[in-house]
Structure 1
């Protein structure tokens, strides 16, 4: 066995040795639904949809209706009907779709049915989402209204990165000098310095230093299936290289990411990003509350992205602090204007340190 292969095996063992968070509801539903879909797969399209009565098989259309009832019962929304959003149920629908697709890679009895089973999963997922479409629209409408309200001048929040940036700098400097550190601090330091998502830092991201405060980032996850034009080619967003500013020396940021990898705190880039959420999300979201950038009730790992972005704007005199959509697309790779506009809620406090 080569050294590289041995290191990869050891790394995977380290990650698997730590218990990942489980989603019992999803596990149970996958164990029930996947065999149903596999039994339907050999039949024609209409039979897959409507079922095969003489074979005692339920079609995906009715299975989606049954799943809708299960979700509403398991994750009720007690508000009046016209206010219900079923937020938890909507999140579980997304998780169920992903889990079913993952399971087809390893759990099918007949691998020859892989494609038809995935087709059934797609139809089932679309039907299930349709059942909750009105609730999703209410959720989106409320989110847009909240974004509009929060970004009003009277509702803006000043944030000060001074202490957090100094702490992050010291953590990354310590590990660069051979000292030990809490991997949670290292992860948070990189998130603050680069604005990358948790799953990117712990799975897909690669950094290459360009200059003192700039890295080439590859491994964008949100919208990863979207293709963008580069020259005469359409390139998957995940393979696009973004030239991004850093709030800490690029050398330290690159070293920190490699340090996490060496410590077994990164998954292989080919793994499902959901593994990062199951394994690290709870721990990191709890730990990041020690970074006092935001009000205590708003401290989440993802908020490092907002702090980074608002600070990157301050550090670049060419960017309008309240008209930064193009800059966001360039630096964050994000074309969701609602999300981008939500960052207008935050302002960098006068005299705050914005780069070390």
Structure 2
């Protein structure tokens, strides 16, 4: 089921790399100046306002949307804006030689990113509206999709068993196996997550990323969500799952838990999403690493007979660790095919 990883296995986003290489020195040159000078520019140094307008033109030219103006969403350009904002902040933290410039450059990058997003705001609103329409449409009974985990769970079990036996399976297969068995995100598996075996099919998970800055009250204390422990079910043996995560660590495929988890996407997202195309849970056009999360949730609902298969929002928040109701509603589109394995 695995694909041979390209060499190197860490794919690059060439467009983002080029834009960061161009913008970062300009932001660095602007850093010593006052706020309005950073915005408007100084002498031959353009300010972030002008740079954002210039970047918007580049994005539209590089990633055009051929639909009529009233229907344009610039989906690829919007994704690249998100990637660019993250990459600029990461570069400021890792590439600047003068530590005193890091915070000013991050501030400039933030203003630049906000201005760039504003220039695409009408397209983003249109994209969000269309997404909500699709979620509502796909949730209708006639549009539901049956998913079958049987082949993938058997393969994942074999891969993690190889880890337990001291063999050397492809790290990509191990990553996908852990994702399916736990429903955790790529950034969690390759950076922030810690697992602790609690029972045969239950682990304690820490390192929640989405909403990580939010605090929750536990006892008398407000605890950052990233440090909260979630007791979650697994679709494979908890022991095997924990071994799988440790294997990724030993293979150098996990970042330090204190690093920016966005680096995971920059380093491994493309190769992992390419590998997922061979996992036959979902229809071919819908196979992404993140969809393991949907398969995991739907399987957990089947495995826990106390959960209503049509009213599971609270349960989903509990096992997924966040309250993104739009995403949870989107998962309602999928149904477990009768007879499929949901635990092994």
TM-score range, shorter chain: over 0.9
Task: State how far apart, in whole Å, the 2-side matches of 1:171 and 1:56 are.
Answer: 57
Q: Equivalent of 2:289, from 279, 286, 301?
A: 301
Which runs of structure 2 are paired with 1:50-199 in the superposition (5 Å)? 50-52=40-42, 55-108=43-96, 110-199=98-187
Distance across 1 between alignment mates of 2:117 and 2:73: 13
Alignment coverage as a number of residue pairs: 338
Shift of 1:109: 5.0
Report the CA distance shift for 1:84/1:46 in structure 2 as closer, same or farther (over 3 A). same
Instruction: List runs of 5+ in structure 2 lacking aligned partners.
Output: 1-6
- Summarize the Cα distance change of 1:107–1:174 in structure 2 as closer, same or farther, 3 Å threshold: closer
Larger mean CA deviation between 102-111 and 75-84 belongs to: 102-111
Task: Return the offset for 1:231.
Answer: 2.4
User: In structure 1, how many angstroms separate the alpha carbons of the residues matched to 2:8 and 2:223?
Assistant: 35
Partner residue, 1:36 = 26
Task: Tell me if the contact between 1:218 and 1:242 (Cα under 8 Å) persists in the aligned partners.
Answer: yes
312-321 vs 27-36, greater mean Cα deviation: 27-36
Report the alpha carbon displacement of residue 110 of structure 1 after superposing the two structures with TM: 3.7
Question: Contact between 1:200 and 1:221, CA under 8 Å: does it hold in 2?
Answer: yes
Shift in alpha-carbon separation, 1:192–1:68, aligned structure 2, 3 A: same
The match for 2:220 is 232
TM-score, normalization: structure 2? 0.92
TM-score (norm 1): 0.89
What is the CA-CA distance between 1:19 and the residue it aligns to? 5.0
CA distance in 1, matches of 2:251, 2:221: 37
| Contact persistence 2:9–2:271 (CA under 8 A) | no
Match of 2:38 in 1: 48
CA RMSD for the aligned pairs?
1.8
Tell me, in whole angstroms, the C-alpha distance in 1 between the residues paired with 2:165 and 2:183: 24
The reply to whether residue 200 of structure 1 matches residue 188 of structure 2 is: yes
Residue 4 of structure 1 corresponds to: none
Of 311, 316, 337, 1:349 maps to 337
Task: Indicate yes or no: 2:318 matched with 1:330.
Answer: yes
Does the Cα contact within 8 Å between 1:334 and 1:340 map onto a contact in 2? no
Aligned to 1:7: none
Q: 294, 308, 319: which one pairs with 1:320?
A: 308
Q: Distance in 2 between matches of 1:170 and 1:28?
A: 41
After TM superposition, give the deviation of residue 245 of structure 1 in Å: 0.3
2:3 aligned residue: none
Structure 1 unaligned residues grouped into runs of 5+ = 1-16
Secondary structure of the structure 1 residue equivalent to 2:204:
strand
Aligned CA distance change for structure 1 residues 56 and 240 (closer, same or farther; 3 Å): same
- Residue by residue over 1:228-249, the C-alpha shift from the partner in whole angstroms, topping out at 9 and shown as x without a partner, is 2222222222211111000111
Q: What CA distance in whole angstroms lies between the structure 1 residues aligned with 2:266 and 2:35?
A: 35
Q: CA deviation at 1:128?
A: 0.8
Matched position secondary structure for 2:94: coil
| Cα separation, 2, equivalents of 1:222 and 1:352 | 30
